[in-house]
Chains A and B, each alone.
Chain A
Amino acid sequence: MIKYIFKRILMLIPVLIGVTFIVYFILALTPGDPVTIILGDQATEQSKEELREELGLNQPLLKRYADYMVGLLHGDMGKSYKNNLDVADQIMERFPNTAILALTAILIAMLVGVPVGIISAKHQNTILDRISMIFALTGISMPVFWLGLLLVIIFAVNLRILPSSGFDTSSIAAAARSLILPGIVLSVNSMATITRMTRSSMLEVMRKDYIDTARAKGVSERVVTFRHMLSNALIPIITVVGISFGNLLGGSIITETVFAWPGIGRFVVESIKMKDTPTVLGCVIFLSVMFSIVNLLIDILYAFVDPRIKSQYKLK
């Protein structure tokens, strides 16, 4: 078991190096001279040259990447071109907000998606199943930014019962209220995917002989559903929850922009518009690393859910 986890963690290292490498080189292509962005057009050639030297911009690209990686391992992501603040600090300041939003969304998605998927599968081809599948398909096809705007128009502008933007942390109740709309909006795509995956995974398991055996033994339908069906249908569901959670980190960019949420997603969009490359780089690398770590955790979770993996490593 520990060996399996250890192996997974080791496999993460080359992926992370690759991710930072790709992102660093893509963003190195950004047009515009950073020195001019920092000092403005009026700066003298000499002061520009000095700053260029100081930032190491005269170094070859690979050397700069190596330096950046060394800094990254020490938690240093450089300074913003715009306000000279520490990029890592600014990211850590915003990360809790993004994490809260993403966790809320995945929670909503799971709490709705899994039960609806189970009900749908148990009542296959009934009107109930049809309706939930139509909702799921609509959910997958829903542009999140549009849904966000519509909900704001309905609940914030017209009914005035929920705040339209921002994260009010003055009290727990206010925070919860400001989480409702963005949480729902961010969850919709994942909710739909989870519903569909739960349904199809349950349907597959339902056909198995051991389900008939369990029923023949006189096990109650509830126990059959949850112990025999769900626990065996769980692996694809976990996979899809994991993928969704990773996508939520990326998807939060749009949701955070719609709701002016003070998280990393909105931060990265603003930084791009201000041509603040170190900040963009830091945010993209940070979110990609988070994404990889979530995937790793999902892989480790498999080992607990899937006895086949466990036994595979016990034998060795």
Chain B
Amino acid sequence: MKENKATSFMQETDAPKERGLWLDVWTRLRKNKVALVGMFFLILLVVVSLSTFVIDLVTKESFYNNFVIKQELTEKLKGPSAGHIFGQDEFGRDVFLRIIWGTRYSLLLGVGATIMAALLGGAVGAVAGFYGKKLDNLLMRLMDILLSIPSILLSIAIVAALGTNMFNVMLAIAISYVPQYARIVRAAIMEQKSMEYIEASRAVGAADPRIIIRHIIPNAMAPIIVQATLGIAGCILSIAGLSFLGLGIQPPVPEWGGMLSNARQYMRDAWHITAFPGLAIMLTILSLNLVGDALRDALDPKLKN
């Protein structure tokens, strides 16, 4: 209740128009307790992965070398214990620490691939939607063609051709997501294009790129954000999948999918090295999906039944 009063007070004093949408969204989002849990988990992941960077920096990677990738072959495949709560892997490395150090790859590559896809797809969609006609037809048919290749297959082909370093993996995943963003941005632009405020800004002499970037995109942001949240989930899953196939991030880097790929051979003797990295992937994807769904409902309450 208190907060409500505070916000209404702020709305009177600050510029009310700019606060409107996102404050509204947050008010609605807050009611969805499950999504808040998901959001909390995601924040935790970000904090955890940031602190691994700090630890690496402060200890000059000695913590990483002495604990995360240190092999203790005498204790290989040992189950969870007080010293190693998620047990030890095929080289006696601590599974828990490897998962913690692995957060950065999933998060960074997932977010990176999504941003790349959104920028590429957004540019294609914006040009197609804004200029229409032949250019639109050409670009969107190209997107249709990309969409007719199953996304994981396209990523696999790209990685097979370019090699499996981190940038290529990210690029491979990003390209297969480009058409989705192109379609969303195109649809949004076509909707906004005919609005009066666009005509007004053109009348005062704004150039096309400025109209698109400063006026249209901000007004079409809602569906893009929802798609991006769900898109990160898809990208993380695809990256883990590629690594699982041995075509993504290569060992000894503690990437979650790669850990599962190694765990396969020891499945019969040690369930824990399979169970925990997969759980980490699943909880991350679940949280992203929860937040994405909740954002969609919050941004467009009409869609919710």
Contact = CB atoms under 8 A, between A and B. Distances in A.
A146 B260 contact: yes
B86 interface: no
A257 B248 CA distance: 15
Contacts of A249: 150
Contacts of A28: 161
A145 B241 contact: yes
Contacts of B281: 143, 146
A18 B141 contact: yes
Q: How large is the interface on B (under 10, 10 to 19, 20 to 34, 35 or more residues)?
A: 35 or more
A119 interface: no
9 contacts: A22-B146, A26-B157, A137-B290, A140-B289, A146-B260, A149-B260, A207-B305, A251-B152, A272-B156
Interface string B118-158: 00000000000000000000000110111011111100111
A27 interface: yes
Interface string B39-57: 0000000000000000000
Nearest to A203: B305
Interface stretch (B16-24, B87-95, B268-276): B268-276
A241 interface: no
Nearest to B284: A141
A269 B157 contact: no
Given A15-B144, A257-B245, A273-B246, A145 B149 contact: no
Contact of B268 (A27, A157, A254, A291): A157
B260 A250 contact: no
A124 to B, nearest CB: 7
A153 B244 contact: no
Contacts of B151: 247, 250
A284 B163 CA distance: 17
Contacts of A142: 282, 285
B267 interface: yes
Interface-central residue, B149, B162, B241, by most chain A CB under 10 Å: B149
B285 A141 contact: yes
Nearest to B274: A149
A138 interface: yes
A137 B144 CA distance: 28
Contacts of B286: 137-138, 141
Contacts of B257: 143, 145
A280 interface: yes
The 4 lowest CB-CB distance pairs between A and B, nearest first, are A250-B150, A146-B278, A18-B145, A141-B285
B233 to A, nearest CB: 7
A19 interface: yes
A200 B163 contact: no
Nearest to A207: B305
B147 to A, nearest CB: 9
B160 interface: yes
Nearest to B155: A250
Interface in A130-166: 137-138, 140-147, 149-150, 152-153, 157
B190 interface: no
Given A145-B257, A268-B156, A288 B163 contact: no
A298 to B, nearest CB: 13
Given A143-B240, A143-B241, A291 B285 contact: no
A259 to B, nearest CB: 11
A151 B148 CA distance: 31
Q: How large is the interface on A (under 10, 10 to 19, 20 to 34, 35 or more residues)?
A: 35 or more
Q: How would you classify the secondary structure of chain B's contact residues: helix, strand, loop or mixed? A: helix
A288 B151 CA distance: 10
A31 B150 contact: no
B282 A143 contact: yes
Interface of B: 141-142, 144-146, 148-153, 156-158, 160-163, 233, 237, 240-241, 244-247, 257, 260, 263-264, 267-268, 271, 274-275, 277-279, 281-282, 285-286, 289-290, 293, 305
A173 B275 CA distance: 31
A297 to B, nearest CB: 14
Contacts of B241: 143-145, 254
Contacts of B293: 137
Given A284-B149, A288-B149, A14 B278 contact: no
B160 A146 contact: no
Interface in A28-43: 28-31
Given A124-B305, A272-B156, A291 B149 contact: yes
A197 B271 CA distance: 35
A226 B91 CA distance: 57
Contacts of B149: 19, 22-23, 284, 288, 291
Nearest to B176: A250
Nearest to B293: A137
A125 B67 CA distance: 48
Interface in A283-315: 284, 287-288, 291-292, 295
Nearest to A138: B286
A23 B157 contact: yes
A291 B150 contact: yes
A246 interface: yes
Nearest to B241: A254
Nearest to A144: B241
B230 to A, nearest CB: 9
Contact of B153 (A30, A273, A287): A287
Given A19-B145, A22-B145, A149-B264, A30 B161 contact: yes
A284 B289 contact: no
A143 B278 contact: yes
A253 interface: yes
Contact of A153 (B152, B153, B267, B285): B267
Interface string A257-279: 11000000000110011000000
